[in-house]
A = this chain, B = another copy of it.
Amino acid sequence: MFMGEYSPALDDKGRVSIPVKLRKAFGEDALVEKLVVTHGLDKCLMAFRNEEWNEFVEKKLMPLSQSDPKNRMSVRFLVGGACECELDKQGRMVIPSNLLKYAGITNDVIILGLFNKIEIWSKEVYEECRPDGAIMNSFADELGF
């Protein structure tokens, strides 16, 4: 289960290092070695473990009717944008330039763990829309706090 916020940097070679806490999120022994990265909703990227990605593609994406232009665009957005990124021995991965551009990532990065997925943001972009306590007021009751 992914959780938490981290802020590594994009180095000169386009690498982002994935924190060990996230790599260990699915069992202490087996570090995550590979992530599927693609366009996220909002101006960010999302990354999945292979297992989650494959399940998602098979169950949600492949059944979509290709006669609907909107479905075709969605598949292009998600699968056409996807990249299987291997982590090097130090836990870093190279993110393709088209994805970096989409998310507006140039230097500092914010990585969020969100149960089954990871979100990757440009720090500047994320600070613009970072959620604060106020947004929770309408939810507090139904969440049971």
Q: Are B142 and A79 in contact (CB under 8 A)?
A: no
A91 to chain B, nearest CB (A): 18
Q: Are B41 and A137 in contact (CB under 8 A)?
A: yes
Residues of A within 8 A of B (CB): 1-5, 7, 36, 39-43, 56-57, 60-62, 66, 69-70, 72-84, 96, 98, 112-115, 117, 119, 129, 131-133, 135-140, 142-145
Which residues of chain B come closer than 8 Å to A1, judged between CB atoms? 57
Which residues of chain B come closer than 8 Å to A43, judged between CB atoms? 133
Looking across the interface, which residue of chain B has its beta carbon closest to that of A43?
A: B133
Q: Are B3 and A84 in contact (CB under 8 A)?
A: yes
Q: Are B60 and A113 in contact (CB under 8 A)?
A: no
Q: Are A62 and B115 in contact (CB under 8 A)?
A: yes
A100 to chain B, nearest CB (A): 12
Q: Are A82 and B4 in contact (CB under 8 A)?
A: yes
Contact of A74 among B5, B57, B72, B131 (CB under 8 A): B131
Q: Are B4 and A114 in contact (CB under 8 A)?
A: no
Which residues of chain B come closer than 8 Å to A114, judged between CB atoms? 75-76, 79-80
A31 to chain B, nearest CB (A): 17
Q: Are B66 and A41 in contact (CB under 8 A)?
A: yes
A58 to chain B, nearest CB (A): 10
Looking across the interface, which residue of chain B has its beta carbon closest to that of A70?
A: B135
